[in-house]
Amino acid sequence: MGCAFCGIKDERIIRDTQNTITILSNPYLVEGHSLVIPKMHVQRISELTMPVAYELFDEVVRMQNMVLERLGAPGCDIRQNFRPFLPDSRLKVGHLHFHVIPRYKEDELYLKSMIYEKDVFRELQDEQSRLIMERLR
């Protein structure tokens, strides 16, 4: 299966720079949900060259500003998922991309999923904290 983002030519392209493409996401989670994609085919952020990483981050920040200023959304999520254990599908493309998602206090995404987030959060215990920090340092 070919990569859905390599050489993408789509009517949903919002912006095309030297090393990045930004498209309106389809499918989308919230109206105005876009994807900022490096033209270089990589799966992980660590595989980017510094000039591409810089340009990509710059585009992500630019899109967040557009969402807040042009769409008037009161909030905006930025997400990058790395889940190689999932097969490629319409919902999962193994080519690095950042989701820029306009957020509203009680948008559909919140009502259907994030509202349960409080049930997932747990109190971090001291010993558990120490062990995890040892592994992450």
**Residues within the interface to Zn ion (CB under 5 A):** 3, 5-6, 41, 95
User: Which string of DSSP letters, residue by residue, matches 58-113?
Assistant: HHHHHHHHHHHHTS--SEEEEE----TTSPP-SS--SS--EEEEEE-TT-HHHHHT
Separation CA 62–CA 68 (nearest Å)? 10
Separation CA 37–CA 99 (nearest Å)? 9
Compute the least distance from the CB of residue 40 to Zn ion, in Å: 8
**Residue 70 burial (10 A CB sphere; 0-12, 13-18, 19+):** exposed
Compute the least distance from the CB of residue 24 to Zn ion, in Å: 18
Cα dihedral: 8, 14, 17, 21 (round 10) = -40
Of 33 and 95, nearer to Zn ion (C-beta) is 95
Of 73 and 96, nearer to Zn ion (C-beta) is 96
Compute the least distance from the CB of residue 25 to Zn ion, in Å: 16
Of 6 and 115, nearer to Zn ion (C-beta) is 6
Of 37 and 63, nearer to Zn ion (C-beta) is 37
Compute the least distance from the CB of residue 108 to Zn ion, in Å: 29
Compute the least distance from the CB of residue 8 to Zn ion, in Å: 8
What is the amino acid identity at position 93? V
Of 12 and 41, nearer to Zn ion (C-beta) is 41
- Number of residue whose CB is nearest Zn ion: 3
